[in-house]
Structure 1
Amino acid sequence: MKRIAIDMDEVMADFTKKFISLYNTDYQEAITLEDLHGKKLRELRPERAEALRNYLVDPGYFRDLEVMPDAQAVIKELSGKYEVYIATAAMHFPSSFTAKYEWLQEHFPFLDDQHFVFCGDKSVIKADYLIDDNVYQLERFTGEGILYTAPHNVHTTEYTRVNNWQEVRSYFLD
């Protein structure tokens, strides 16, 4: 059975929606997803980079992220035909471990928690495929990298791209 490793943030969990919402509330701005086209928020507001990072060191930040549309149904379907692993780069924010683990258990109870990998560099993951929004992780991965569209990676062209979970389903199951 082939293995698929799936990133959590911005692939399974809507990281950017919460990030923008917190920022807009705290700084009385109206940043939109369109404003982030090809950029990260810290690139738009470099003077607030440390404050933005502080959102992510909050142990609860990752606990209540929204699930990406169709992720649950498609991942459940994939898990019937592939070995599915969740590979989340948690080393930058070690305080996120518990929140991420609890989030995965709540929203993806059908996955084996022995297949949750909390790591930094995903090149250590031995899988046939990696679905990730981070080009850095795909560059180092030895299997086939699949880029999940996020605002910051829209200009990247060197990987197979999926824009949503229905496209993931089509790629792997059609």
Structure 2
Amino acid sequence: METAKQRIAIDMDEVVADTLGKLLHCYNRDYEDTVTIEDLHGKKLRQVAKCGQELYRYFDDPTFFRDLAVMPDSQDVIRELQTRYEIFIASAAMEVPASFAAKYEWLKEHFPFIPDTHIVFCGDKSIINADYLIDDHTYQFARFRGQGILYTASHNLEETRYPRVNNWRDVADMFLK
């Protein structure tokens, strides 16, 4: 009898998709500003942007999430993880319902090796039954029953409560060694 593989759930935005990079580009272009990733140490862009919460209007564009850059090494590492683990993409897409189609299309283009049955669009990720959750937001770990693994992003640099990975090479070191 074959032993079940452990499951790893992986967030999409700021973990496999560079959402902040595009958001920064759009904001700086439209507000003639020069905010950089370094300016965001421990903060979210909305905290330093001239427009504050209005920043999230970019997410109302159903195509915003369609052309995000892929995080370096994520495709290769996830493909290798699949040889040892059951991999799910778990996106809190309910926070931005207009994003469903673009996120799905983006995943099918950049991660075609992840089956549709392993893509979960949800809100509260505690619903995910996995051993690990790799995410950039600690609030998603609050009720998650497995182990949260914090993926480094500018807004979480001061967080110390969870094991941390800084990039996909760190993920490989944690799960594939």
Shorter-normalised TM range: over 0.9
Paired amino acid for 1:156: E
Q: Is structure 2 residue 10 aligned with structure 1 residue 18?
A: no
Identity %: 60
Q: Which residue of 1 aligns with 2:67?
A: 64
Give the secondary-structure state (helix, strand or coil) at the position aligned to 2:33.
Answer: coil
* Aligned positions of 1:108-127 closer than 5 A: 108-127=111-130
CA distance in 1, matches of 2:44, 2:164: 19
Paired amino acid for 1:167: D
Root-mean-square deviation (Å): 0.8
Q: Select between 117-126 and 49-58 the one with higher mean Cα deviation.
A: 49-58
1:123-162 Cα distance to aligned partner (Å, 9 max, x none): 0000000000001002221100000000000000000000
CA distance in 2, matches of 1:148, 1:168: 9
The alignment of Structure 1 onto Structure 2 pairs a total of residues equal to 173
Q: Is structure 2 residue 28 aligned with structure 1 residue 28?
A: no
Paired amino acid for 2:172: R
Q: Offset of 1:49 from its aligned partner?
A: 2.9
Q: Which residue of 2 aligns with 1:86?
A: 89
CA distance in 2, matches of 1:149, 1:172: 17
Q: Select between 159-168 and 36-45 the one with higher mean Cα deviation.
A: 36-45
Pick the aligned partner of 2:109 from 106, 109, 134. 106
How does the TM-score come out when normalised to structure 1?
Answer: 0.97
Paired amino acid for 1:16: L
Q: Which residue of 2 aligns with 1:137?
A: 140
Pick the aligned partner of 2:153 from 139, 150, 157. 150
CA distance in 2, matches of 1:35, 1:139: 28
* Aligned positions of 1:156-171 closer than 5 A: 156-171=159-174
1:33-82 Cα distance to aligned partner (Å, 9 max, x none): 0111100011113x613431110111001100000000000000001110
Runs of 4+ in 1 over 3 A off after TM superposition: none
Paired amino acid for 1:51: E
